[in-house]
């Protein structure tokens, strides 16, 4: 039995170490079906991909009111302000709260906000500007949605500000 095993080992070593034969045929691969599949699949996958989606919102920050600016003697005009809080949306004019819109099923009532802003815009002192005052705990996606509704209501200039916890319009 050991003799057979030794013979087999010599044979295996010979197969491993032998040079490639010249008579071996080259295998010709046919990749046409795979290429046809990629030809159909590739445009579909590219059409489903969102490569880049950039959106730009134009807004202005509230002006610096300080002692260094010239005093014109005019009273500043009151602008409408939308206060975005975790529990509600409020529309204010100066220190007076005009409208309060509580959350509906955990969502901000954006359609109601647009309707109220459209109504309030007609009687506003500054008809093309609005300020969005946001509390710190509000997610940015909600702020952007409110700014979109302000733009849809006809306000061209949207200011962005922070709202303190004691701001008019809520707890």
On whether the CB atoms of residues 117 and 91 are closer than 8 A, the answer is yes
**What pTM did the predictor assign?**
0.55
Residue 32 falls inside a structural domain:
no
Q: How many domains does the chain have?
A: 1
pLDDT digits (tens, 9 = 90+) for 32-70: 999 999 899 988 888 887 766 666 666 655 555 544 455
- Domain presence at residue 156: yes
Predicted confidence at residue 169, as pLDDT, reads 46
Q: Which domain holds residue 97?
A: 80-162
Per-residue DSSP letter, 60: B
Domain holding 135: CATH number?
3.30.420.40
In a domain, 57, yes or no: no
For the stretch 1-26, pLDDT in tens is: 555 566 665 555 555 555 555 555 66
Q: Is residue 110 part of a domain?
A: yes
Q: Is the residue at 86 inside a domain? A: yes
How do 157-162 and 88-93 pair as beta strands?
unpaired
Task: Decide if 66 is inside a domain.
Answer: no
Q: How many residues in the chain?
A: 171
Residue 101 counted as domain residue: yes
Q: Rg of the chain's alpha carbons, rounded to an integer?
A: 36
């Amino acid at each position: 039995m050991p003799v057979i095993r030794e013979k087999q080992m010599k044979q295996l070593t010979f197969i491993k170490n032998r040079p490639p034969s010249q008579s071996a045929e080259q295998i010709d691969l046919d990749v046409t079906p795979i290429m046809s599949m990629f030809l159909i699949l590739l445009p579909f996958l590219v059409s489903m991909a969102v490569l880049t989606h950039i959106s730009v919102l134009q807004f202005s920050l509230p002006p610096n009111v300080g002692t260094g600016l010239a005093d014109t003697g005019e009273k500043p005009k009151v602008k409408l302000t939308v206060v975005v809080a975790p529990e509600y949306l409020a529309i204010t004019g100066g220190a007076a709260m005009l409208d309060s819109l509580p959350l509906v099923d955990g969502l901000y009532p954006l359609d109601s906000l647009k309707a109220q802003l459209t109504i309030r815009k007609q009687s506003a002192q500054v008809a093309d500007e609005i300020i969005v005052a946001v509390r710190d705990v509000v997610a940015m996606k909600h702020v952007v949605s409110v700014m979109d509704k302000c733009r849809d209501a006809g306000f061209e200039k949207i200011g962005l500000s922070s709202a303190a916890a004691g701001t008019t319009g809520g707890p």
